[in-house]
Structure 1
Amino acid sequence: MSLGANDWTLRRRVALLLTVVTLILIGLAGAAAAVAAQNRSQIDTVLNQTGPLRVQGQELLNALLDQETGIRGYAVSGDRKDLAPYDAGRDLERQRMASMRALVADFPAVDDELAAVQSQSTRWRETVAVPVIEATEREGPAAGQALVDDRARQEFDQVRAAADALQREILRARNDAAADVRSSSNLLAVLLIVAAAVVALAGIALVLSLERMVIRPLTALAGQVREVAEGDYQHRITGSGPPEFVHLSDDVDAMRRKIARDLAEVREARERIEWVNSQLQKQAEELTRSNRDLEQFAYVASHDLQEPLRKVASFCQLLQRRYAGQLDERADQYIAFAVDGAQRMQRLINDLLAFSRIGRLTTGFTEVDLNKVMGDVAGQTEAARQYADAELTWGELPVIRGEEPLLTNLLANLVSNSVKFRRPDVPPKVHVSARLVGDEWEISCADNGIGIEPEFADKIFVIFQRLHAKDAYPGTGIGLAIVKKIVEYHGGRVWVDTDTAEGTAIRFTLPALPADVEAAHAAGSEDGTGDIPAEDGGTGRPAEEENTAGGQESAERPDTASEGGRTGGMRETVG
């Protein structure tokens, strides 16, 4: 089935145009190559044949003249030396005749003239030169001069005439060759001009074809696409021109239809999401109110429970002091249970009250030096550390923005936990350090205690969560929950480092001051590493001597840190 003109693809049309142009250019190139070869041959003829022929023809004439001069001189003087020009002329004549014979193969007329010159020169020698030489040798110069008469001059004139005719024929052959060179050069130039004209016409035809078959259809298609892009997604896109453009238009229109369907689905989904967001917003507001009410309830409940609890605890202690030993052993045990329960309830309420106050009663963030905070923590935990013979050390700690009372409570809880959860017969060692990681300070509290199993690493931060009985390690189970809430209130996170080989390492992050981050980056650039130093203190300078706090005397645990407990290598949430 034959294709119509409109069914021809753009590739087919361009290929046809290029094929026609290529064939024409190949033909012109072949003709130009043939003409160039002919031109080179003609130039070679002018340079290597007719030119040397003219020079050698003149030298041949000079050789003939030398012979005639030698004969005249010898006839006058009778001296054999005067025949030297004659002998040299004959040698030169033979040489030039031989060399010219090799050059006249393509010039028959020149060859004929050369043969005429040779015939005339041979005749002159036979009729004039040889008789003069012989007569001079036999009879002397007078006899020789007698033979050099008008007839002798006429004979040599014929030789000269033949040499002149040879030169004219050589000149004519040279002019004909030069004319052929000019003609072939002109023809070669014409062929080049025709080739350039073909290329120019092909370029013009290609440009016009592209304008009609490519640019106009593409411009029209781009205009329709812009209409769709401006929001008219129902505008149908049609194409014109070669089949490729028609297919492209169909594909673009199919894409438009798909986009229109997707946009309709997106609108529906967005409407559903907006409705869900509005419901979530309402639920978030309800949750915020609920949390606020719960915090208020926890505060009020804790505060209101203090008075009756103190009364119960006071009277239970009075019963214990006044009637101890007056009742039976079981009664004393019951009273001890009541006193212990009241005290534990009081501690629980105090910790719950402290937990509810975090983030609600705020003094505002200020710049806090954690080195000073650790000094306060060392003082608060001194009694407990002396009782456990514990050693507390810390490296250079940073200055951060936060609430000093909360940060003190945070570190006191961690240090108290490390002192409390110690291994039997092993003096506790607690070390607090800091390093800069990115734009956060990573602060670690590491000890040599009983450690925490990895599966309980997240469980210990849950409020009221205990991993063992309260008899092993006393506590309310709120301490590490308070730690987590304080850290998150300051914009950080807290976790247990489960890769620690011995004891426990609890790590938490706090945002660093911009000046510390810039200084660390500058220090890293100066030492050529580009890394942020990770020494104690993380300030890019060598860590100062560790601050140390220790104790030997027995003492009760201070009330500033919540209590807790752990057994079997598992730590509970304590404070």
Structure 2
Amino acid sequence: MTAVRDWTLRRRVITLLTVVAVLLLGLAAGEVALAAKNRSHIDAILNKTGPLRVQAQELLNALLDQETAVRGYAVSGNPADLAPYDAGRKREQNLVASMQRLVGDYPELREEIRIVEQRAEAWRQTVAVPVVTTTDQSGTTAGQALITDEAREQFDEVRGAVDHLQQVIFEARQRSAEDVQRTSNLLVVLLIVAVGVVIIAGTLMLVSLDKMVIRPLTGLADQVREVAEGDYQHGIAGSGPPEFVRLAEDVDAMRRKIAKDLAEVREARERIEWVNSQLQKQAEELTRSNRDLEQFAYVASHDLQEPLRKVASFCQLLQRRYSGQLDERADQYIAFAVDGAQRMQRLINDLLAFSRIGRLTTGFTEVDMNKVMGDVAGQTEAARQYADAELTWDELPVIRGEEPLLTNLLANLVSNSIKFRRPDVPAKVHISARLVGDEWEISCQDNGIGIEPEFADKIFVIFQRLHAKDAYPGTGIGLAIVKKIVEYHGGRVWVDTDTEEGTAIRFTLPALPGDVESAAAAPDEPADEPATGEAGTGDGGEPAGEPGTGTPAQAGGRLDETDATDGPDRAPEGGRTGDMRETVG
């Protein structure tokens, strides 16, 4: 019993189907055998006993024709009356031969036919031949005298033998009919048994499927449903064939893994919630800090600048009124005080401008960078005329961003390039753009003094300078503002250290989806020659706006004026940098 329980579902089904098939094949073989017998019995009725009955009757008629012909010839003496006798003899012979061929399976009929022939021959030898011979020799009276009651009784024996033959044929036919009925009944019984086997096998199959398949699957589904409803600690046990037991074990292993993963997820969620709470606290702290910074900006822009302006004003008054009245050292000290106050004021203004980037926002719109370059050309016109500098740009894309900040970005780059020019070479600044993936890479290339690779990362640090303030003016915040504007727009900025001449500052800005799709649709098409804008030192360009170096307006107001030419000093072309000093206000 234990061995049967260990059988797989496939083995059980195959065994049941094999037993049913064997039974059905046995029943089919029996039915075939019975059908063959039934057909042989029917054949005996239709092709043997039936024709034998007919031929037995014809045999009797042939004998009667012979007896009638002999009587008629004895009465008339006319030889023509013997013709039926001769014809009857021939019919008798033919019928006997035919009947002999049909009685192969009936030896009793063969014996009866032999008896009929013996008696018919005996009648002919003792009655028919003597009557015919006597009539031929002695006349009709003598012939009729031979036809006595004894002769009639002898022919009656012949007729009795034929009647008995017909009775035996009828009995044989009846037996064949009974055999047909019996085999037919047996065929019906076998068919009923086959139907019963099919019904029983189907019932057993249904019961087995219910017990071995449906119930185990239903139980397994109920357990899985409990787990699916959230009871991940509920163990899953299988029943039924070994396949279902293994399936249940696999599902339970999956449940344990899911439960383990969920436990880890819960722990991770708890950690994330804790981290979120910490982040919330930090966000609140940052909000408070931002409020403090805004308060500081307000104080720096109003309260701190008021006494600073007084110091600067009175120092300038001292310088104008007492210049030359005191000794040379006193004039020098007053000049230091005036310069320090003015520089402090510029540092405060630049710091405020830097802190307001991204906070005072006008919202992102689609900005045509070609128009922006026109504005930049206008803002830097005075500086370019002073330095005899040339500003050119290729066809630039449309960028989604804030136009005032983008204008400030390019104005700082262009001003930086003009400021850090070589003294013996006219300054040239070129702005170009190319699509790289889903970003526009915009480059500002000049032919200035260049930057040594080791200082490439330092130039974007606020108030970082690579030269003394006497060599190049400014506070050192220009490129820090550039970096903050680029990052505010989702890009990055760097110095291309592989440039052979001058400096190339490159930055990326996200491209519009239409530009990316157009580039992807025609990757192999050659790009059209970009249109080039140019703002030279004289009347070569039509820059938009008035020249100047002020910071563009933001959020309905105007930022405090900053020095658009501020920025980090660059290393001279010889590769050697000047003194690097950090100036802190």
- Which residue in 2 is equivalent to 1:542? 529
In structure 2, do the counterparts of structure 1 residues 466 and 328 end up closer, same or farther at CA, with 3 Å as the change threshold?
A: same
Counterparts of 1:523 and 1:255, CA distance in 2: 48
Structure 2 unmatched ranges of 5 or more = 24-197, 540-546, 551-561
8 Å contact 2:479–2:567 — kept in the other structure? no
8 Å contact 1:370–1:400 — kept in the other structure? yes
- Which residue in 1 is equivalent to 2:340? 341
Q: Equivalent residues in 2 for 1:144-223 (5 A)?
A: 213=212, 216-223=215-222
8 Å contact 2:392–2:532 — kept in the other structure? no
- Which residue in 2 is equivalent to 1:466? 465
Counterparts of 1:305 and 1:214, CA distance in 2: 87
Q: Equivalent residues in 2 for 1:122-161 (5 A)?
A: none
In structure 2, do the counterparts of structure 1 residues 390 and 219 end up closer, same or farther at CA, with 3 Å as the change threshold?
A: same
Counterparts of 1:299 and 1:487, CA distance in 2: 25
In structure 2, do the counterparts of structure 1 residues 556 and 359 end up closer, same or farther at CA, with 3 Å as the change threshold?
A: closer
Counterparts of 1:557 and 1:266, CA distance in 2: 56
Counterparts of 2:332 and 2:237, CA distance in 1: 97
Q: Equivalent residues in 2 for 1:10-409 (5 A)?
A: 10=9, 213=212, 216-409=215-408
Counterparts of 2:327 and 2:206, CA distance in 1: 119
Matched, 1:563 2:569: no
One-letter identity of the residue aligned with 1:444: S
Q: Equivalent residues in 2 for 1:391-540 (5 A)?
A: 391-513=390-512, 517-518=513-514, 521-522=517-518, 525=521, 527=522, 529=523
One-letter identity of the residue aligned with 1:419: I
Higher-Rg member (1/2): 2
Structure 1 unmatched ranges of 5 or more = 25-199, 536-540
In structure 2, do the counterparts of structure 1 residues 11 and 343 end up closer, same or farther at CA, with 3 Å as the change threshold?
A: same
SS of the equivalent of 1:502 reads coil
- Which residue in 2 is equivalent to 1:117? none
SS of the equivalent of 1:550 reads coil
SS of the equivalent of 2:429 reads strand
In structure 2, do the counterparts of structure 1 residues 19 and 508 end up closer, same or farther at CA, with 3 Å as the change threshold?
A: farther
In structure 2, do the counterparts of structure 1 residues 209 and 460 end up closer, same or farther at CA, with 3 Å as the change threshold?
A: farther
One-letter identity of the residue aligned with 2:530: A
CA shift, 1:22, in A, is 13
Aligned length, in residue pairs:
391
CA shift, 1:311, in A, is 2.6
CA shift, 1:447, in A, is 1.7
SS of the equivalent of 2:304 reads helix
8 Å contact 1:429–1:447 — kept in the other structure? yes
Counterparts of 2:441 and 2:453, CA distance in 1: 20
CA shift, 1:322, in A, is 4.1
8 Å contact 1:302–1:352 — kept in the other structure? no
In structure 2, do the counterparts of structure 1 residues 483 and 256 end up closer, same or farther at CA, with 3 Å as the change threshold?
A: same
8 Å contact 2:438–2:516 — kept in the other structure? no
Range moving further from structure 2, 469-478 or 561-570: 561-570
SS of the equivalent of 1:393 reads strand
Counterparts of 2:437 and 2:330, CA distance in 1: 62
Normalised by the length of structure 2, the TM-score is 0.56
SS of the equivalent of 2:536 reads strand
SS of the equivalent of 1:547 reads strand
Moved over 6 A (4+): 14-24, 203-211, 555-558, 570-574
- Which residue in 1 is equivalent to 2:35? none
Counterparts of 1:329 and 1:213, CA distance in 2: 114
Taking only the aligned residue pairs, the percentage that are identical comes to 80
Counterparts of 1:463 and 1:380, CA distance in 2: 23
One-letter identity of the residue aligned with 2:568: G
CA shift, 1:207, in A, is 9.8
